[in-house]
Structure 1
Amino acid sequence: MKTEEAAAPAVACSSAALAVHRQINRTTTPYPRDSSVVARFEYWAARRPHATAAVQEDRTLTYRELDRLANGLARELGEDGVGLGTAVAVCVARSPEMLVALLGVLKCGGTYVPVDPLWPDERLRAVLSDAGCTRVLSDRPGTLAQRLEGTGCRVLEVMERTLVPLDTGPECPAGPESVACINFTSGSTGRAKGVPILHRGIVRLVHGASYGPLDENSHVLQVTPVTFDIATWEIWAALLNGGTSVMYPAEFVQLSHLERVIKAGRVTILLLTTALFNSVVDEAPEALETVATITSGGEAHSHRHMTKAVRTYGSGRVVNLYGPTECTCIATYYPVDEPPRPDVPLPIGRPIQNTRLYVLADDARRLCEPGETGEICLAGDGLAVGYLGRPDLTEAAFVHRDIGGVPERLYRTGDMGRLLPGGDVVFEGRRDDQVKINGFRIELGEITHHLNSHPLVKQSCVAVHDNRGDKSLVAFVVPTGPDASPDGFREHLVAKLPRYMVPAQIHLCERFPLTSNGKIDRRALLTAHSSPAPSGEFIR
């Protein structure tokens, strides 16, 4: 890496541009940089053995109990051959057992790979194959074993009755630069991309947090699926700070139940996807009235919802967050202390602790001036190692640059933004067809790839319909003949993609309108088919 950094191209920059970037990048904060996730958890297990580590309705686990159960599972996994860098899939519902599974894998040096039982077989098998998993920890072993027959993956049961606590587990060989987990995100080629996240990236994410207080008094809500990168923050923000993980008990969120969980669990800080945040603010604002720090992110916020939130909860409580999986979930923060102006975009703010941000132009070779739009590039201890088994993608997205005499390894996010005069960053869209829907990162190209593989599809495209901040996917298909139907295309996609990637509407078209430069005019298609349809319903 030193050779690459020494040969890094120098970024052209004016003194003014360099000065403002240096100002916002003064983010170095002391934290246990040389510790692993396991070491930080065990630190708190030894210091606060009787404190509550996790609570889910009437179930609680102390740090000592969670540590002993994870030790037992780690010993079992170690005896089964799991060691440093071994990828183990985790398919366990949100529960204390899920935490045991994650810690058990990490304690023997392994890498956990969260998977979702609702994924279609094709996607599930592809993720396990790409990650090199030969073991899956599951609380539904029979059903999963049938689905994975012939893959070479063994399903190991993880349930309350099967766990055996031990006072000591195997000595953990993992260090700060070992891979803790692999998160899979949508890929434009039709196959999900694996993003290996380092122990150091997770430790950096939750220590000395600039976006809100995290310590042994924190009660952190855990409500998102473990396959979603926000769960990385939810889980470890509590367990690596001696706090309590307050686990929502059901798979799908009901706002009335969410309020009960938040108040019964005395939640002090949470991170809601933009879509869930909007729903709570609109329909059940009282659910968050006792939460000290309300953070939200995943996609652009509407001024209407942020204005209502600030007026409802007051100054100093609402924080807008931004960050890709490749930077371990969170990269920037912006405290929303007053209602945002409707004529000014809501900033994503400044980089969080031990993270740096640059706005670059000209193929990431020139530093943008304040007010100039460029690509948001990130650096620091949160960066992933690249993309699993995809050196071509890694080389394109993770680059080395010399910025004002300082060598940096940068992640090119593909997000466009600009620096305001005061130093905050404003998000200004994408340079490709990646979108965020309900917090999930989706490559539209992955959906069209699978649509185009259907024998009755001549041409397809996917767009996003935005109804005052309520976003949904809409697909348009030029069929090969009269036998094609939206229902048939839907069944085809459901068998290949997670539900959140299946368009809410599918329209059949005779041809696609084109823009003046010969590209498909998605705006014209959305306008021509603008009649609303209930979510999940397909119309012709």
Structure 2
Amino acid sequence: MKTDAAGTEVVTGSEAALAIHRSINRTAAPYPRDSNVVELFESWADRRPDATVVRQGGRTLSYRRLNRLANGLARELAARGVREGTTVAVCVARSPEMLVALLGVLKCGGTYVPVDVQWPDERLRAVLADAGCELVLSDQAPQLERRTDGSGCRVMPIEEETLRPLDTNPVCPAGPRSIACVNFTSGSTGRAKGVPIHHRGIVRLVHGATYGPLDERSRVLQVTPVTFDIATWEIWGALLNGGTSVMYPAEPVRLSHLDRVIKEGGVSILLLTTALFNSVVDEAPEALDTVATITSGGEAHSHRHMTKAVERYGPGRVVNLYGPTECTCIGTWFPVDEAPREGVPLPIGRPIQNTRVYVLADGAGRLCEPGEIGEICLAGDGLAAGYLGRPDLTRAAFVHRSIGGTRERLYRTGDLGSLLPSGDVVFEGRLDDQVKINSFRIELGEITTHLNSHPLVKQSCVAVRDNRGDKSLVAFVVPAGPSASPARLRDHLAAKLPRYMVPARIHLCDSFPLTPNGKIDRRALLTAHAASARSGEYIP
């Protein structure tokens, strides 16, 4: 690969390929790129002190009240040693107190690390250790104290009655390039990967959004767990635009209740995972009748569900979104104004504001022509800092290239795509064995790593079963001893991985079929799985 005078590798391509990429990447738009999250929130607290910032059921908080509570928490955190760059874990159920916790950490210049009380102990401790957290804010402090005992991590309770408001805003030392939060995603090595997100990335995500209106009139649904990257958009899309966060209760989502929350809260815009979007469209489509902008993403959409949605809600309301955690949640958008044609893939569209997308072939060395499949690469102010404590992974995924004379820092998504003549990007699959199940990003290698660590496992393989759009994980194991059982192996995984990563079924096999290239034939295994589903969990 050629390099320029500065030693940066040069991406080649025809004039036609360069022209279409230049056309779709004219996304630069003014926004407060030199501000941090705290400054923007406090500016709205000054301008709209009495406006409702969060609503959850019958409970509301004003911008003034939320800001004062976050100030008080920041004072307490500072007294405990939280400074610029300090990582603080946040394990608080969806509630106004969760917002207080996030803002309190940021006001000190700290970095919040969302964690889930339902994670297994091993994963919880690993994330706290990898992120360097010495403090956890939690509304379930006694339980967390028992589970983190001996880890060197202190637990600080967060409860409404113990929060002490403070009028004075502390001086926030964070800059636009400071790390606001760290989201953890599945990793192929058996350990979750931390993705540090800049303040600037969050500001770019929600300011001047091309994919839907976000302003002081916006009422944004907050329904996903804070550990999921979509929550970044849900929370800050409201708080950094003077709008209102309409919070679903902390309980598991029920469609009848979701309908009521949306209607009573006057939700105007939301972002549903593909799985939840499909469930709503199938079982409770009336829930979205009053929502002006319905966005969805997380995995490939089915034509059937998109057709039903467009036919019910009409043009100008449904938007398909795409973007990995590494680009701060959203990278591209596509307005679905008409039912997709059968056999024609639904595009993921064009880059959002202050974001650029390239489809590259030859190891990210050549721009693809329209219709040619290559790797989707993203650039712009939304890119994460890399992977926490993993310079090897960072070097492989975040690369510098010179494209048309412009030096770009690219994130290689590992997703395959192609450009339509219109300039819209179409998702075409993956380069590796990363999958999406119910919009959770899962590295199949992480599951096999933990299976293979069990002494009763000789060899394992994990695949995805797709039953008319209903995807589930299936594991296949060649046992190392007669006492191996699916139940025993499932318990082993449940002690190490989140529930969504534990396969729905585990099959024991004598051996694995191989492809002509000598690789495990997952298709043959899945066929055998379907044939044996009624008779048991052993595949001869």
* 1:179-203 CA-partner distances (Å, limit 9, x unpaired): 0000000000000000000000000
Report the counterpart of residue 183 of structure 1 in structure 2: 183
**Does the 8 Å contact 1:205/1:328 carry over to 2?**
yes
Report the counterpart of residue 457 of structure 2 in structure 1: 457
Structure 2, unaligned runs of 5 or more: none
Q: 1:268 to 1:5 in 2, by over 3 A?
A: farther
Q: 1:308 to 1:527 in 2, by over 3 A?
A: same
Match runs of 1:236-275 below 5 Å: 236-275=236-275
Report the counterpart of residue 150 of structure 1 in structure 2: 150
Letter of the 2:71 counterpart: N
Aligned residues: 535
SS across alignment from 1:174: coil
Report the counterpart of residue 369 of structure 1 in structure 2: 369
- Identical columns (%): 79
**Distance across 1 between alignment mates of 2:251 and 2:464:** 26
Match runs of 1:418-437 below 5 Å: 418-437=418-437
**Distance across 2 between alignment mates of 1:90 and 1:132:** 13
Provide the alpha-carbon RMSD of the alignment. Answer: 1.3
Per-residue deviation, 1:532:
9.0
SS across alignment from 1:408: strand
**Distance across 1 between alignment mates of 2:189 and 2:168:** 45
Per-residue deviation, 1:5:
9.7
Q: 1:491 to 1:247 in 2, by over 3 A?
A: same
Letter of the 2:347 counterpart: P
**Distance across 2 between alignment mates of 1:154 and 1:399:** 37
Per-residue deviation, 1:533:
6.5
Per-residue deviation, 1:4:
11
Per-residue deviation, 1:469:
1.2
Report the counterpart of residue 213 of structure 1 in structure 2: 213
Report the counterpart of residue 114 of structure 2 in structure 1: 114
Per-residue deviation, 1:481:
2.1
Report the counterpart of residue 26 of structure 2 in structure 1: 26
Per-residue deviation, 1:531:
5.3
**Does the 8 Å contact 1:479/1:508 carry over to 2?**
yes
Report the counterpart of residue 355 of structure 1 in structure 2: 355
**Does the 8 Å contact 2:95/2:250 carry over to 1?**
no
Match runs of 1:154-233 below 5 Å: 154-233=154-233
SS across alignment from 1:460: strand
Letter of the 1:155 counterpart: V
Report the counterpart of residue 481 of structure 1 in structure 2: 481
Q: 1:95 to 1:4 in 2, by over 3 A?
A: farther
SS across alignment from 1:311: helix
Q: 1:382 to 1:532 in 2, by over 3 A?
A: farther
Q: Are residue 81 (structure 1) and residue 81 (structure 2) matched?
A: yes
Q: 1:470 to 1:105 in 2, by over 3 A?
A: same
**Distance across 1 between alignment mates of 2:378 and 2:135:** 34
Q: Are residue 15 (structure 1) and residue 45 (structure 2) matched?
A: no
Q: 1:403 to 1:479 in 2, by over 3 A?
A: same
Per-residue deviation, 1:247:
0.4
**Distance across 1 between alignment mates of 2:533 and 2:97:** 39
Letter of the 1:488 counterpart: R
Per-residue deviation, 1:62:
0.3
Report the counterpart of residue 136 of structure 2 in structure 1: 136
Per-residue deviation, 1:539:
4.0
**Distance across 2 between alignment mates of 1:391 and 1:326:** 15
SS across alignment from 2:465: strand
Letter of the 2:74 counterpart: A
**Distance across 2 between alignment mates of 1:236 and 1:532:** 47
**Distance across 2 between alignment mates of 1:37 and 1:412:** 27
SS across alignment from 1:530: helix
Q: 1:447 to 1:326 in 2, by over 3 A?
A: same
Q: 1:441 to 1:405 in 2, by over 3 A?
A: same
* 1:5-61 CA-partner distances (Å, limit 9, x unpaired): 932111111100000000000001111111000001001000000000000001100
SS across alignment from 2:245: strand
**Distance across 2 between alignment mates of 1:196 and 1:7:** 27
Report the counterpart of residue 299 of structure 2 in structure 1: 299
**Distance across 1 between alignment mates of 2:7 and 2:221:** 45
Match runs of 1:380-395 below 5 Å: 380-395=380-395
* 1:202-253 CA-partner distances (Å, limit 9, x unpaired): 0000001010000000000000000000000000000000000000003310
**Distance across 2 between alignment mates of 1:160 and 1:102:** 14
* 1:421-446 CA-partner distances (Å, limit 9, x unpaired): 00000000000000011111000000
**Does the 8 Å contact 1:74/1:107 carry over to 2?**
yes
**Distance across 1 between alignment mates of 2:114 and 2:531:** 38
SS across alignment from 2:136: strand
**Distance across 1 between alignment mates of 2:472 and 2:180:** 33
**Distance across 2 between alignment mates of 1:532 and 1:259:** 39
Letter of the 1:529 counterpart: H
SS across alignment from 2:60: strand
**Distance across 2 between alignment mates of 1:61 and 1:294:** 25
**Does the 8 Å contact 1:298/1:440 carry over to 2?**
yes
* 1:492-519 CA-partner distances (Å, limit 9, x unpaired): 0000000000011111111111011000
SS across alignment from 2:122: helix
**Distance across 1 between alignment mates of 2:327 and 2:471:** 25
**Distance across 2 between alignment mates of 1:5 and 1:288:** 54
Letter of the 1:83 counterpart: R
**Distance across 1 between alignment mates of 2:11 and 2:180:** 32
Letter of the 2:302 counterpart: S
TM-score for the superposition, normalised by structure 2: 0.98
* 1:127-150 CA-partner distances (Å, limit 9, x unpaired): 000000000000010110010000
SS across alignment from 1:375: strand
Report the counterpart of residue 499 of structure 1 in structure 2: 499
**Distance across 1 between alignment mates of 2:322 and 2:461:** 28
**Distance across 1 between alignment mates of 2:520 and 2:113:** 37
Report the counterpart of residue 288 of structure 2 in structure 1: 288
Letter of the 2:457 counterpart: V
Report the counterpart of residue 466 of structure 2 in structure 1: 466
Structure 1, unaligned runs of 5 or more: none
**Does the 8 Å contact 2:490/2:502 carry over to 1?**
yes
SS across alignment from 2:491: helix
Which is worse superposed, 113-122 or 245-254? 245-254
SS across alignment from 1:10: strand
Report the counterpart of residue 69 of structure 1 in structure 2: 69
* 1:52-89 CA-partner distances (Å, limit 9, x unpaired): 00000011000000000000000100111101000000
Report the counterpart of residue 417 of structure 1 in structure 2: 417
**Distance across 2 between alignment mates of 1:170 and 1:37:** 14
Per-residue deviation, 1:480:
1.1
Letter of the 1:506 counterpart: I
SS across alignment from 1:171: coil
**Does the 8 Å contact 1:201/1:384 carry over to 2?**
yes
**Does the 8 Å contact 2:4/2:402 carry over to 1?**
no
Letter of the 1:291 counterpart: V
Report the counterpart of residue 330 of structure 1 in structure 2: 330
Letter of the 2:133 counterpart: C
Match runs of 1:400-411 below 5 Å: 400-411=400-411
Per-residue deviation, 1:168:
1.1
Q: 1:245 to 1:532 in 2, by over 3 A?
A: farther
SS across alignment from 2:333: strand
**Distance across 2 between alignment mates of 1:531 and 1:170:** 64
**Distance across 2 between alignment mates of 1:161 and 1:330:** 36
Letter of the 1:368 counterpart: C
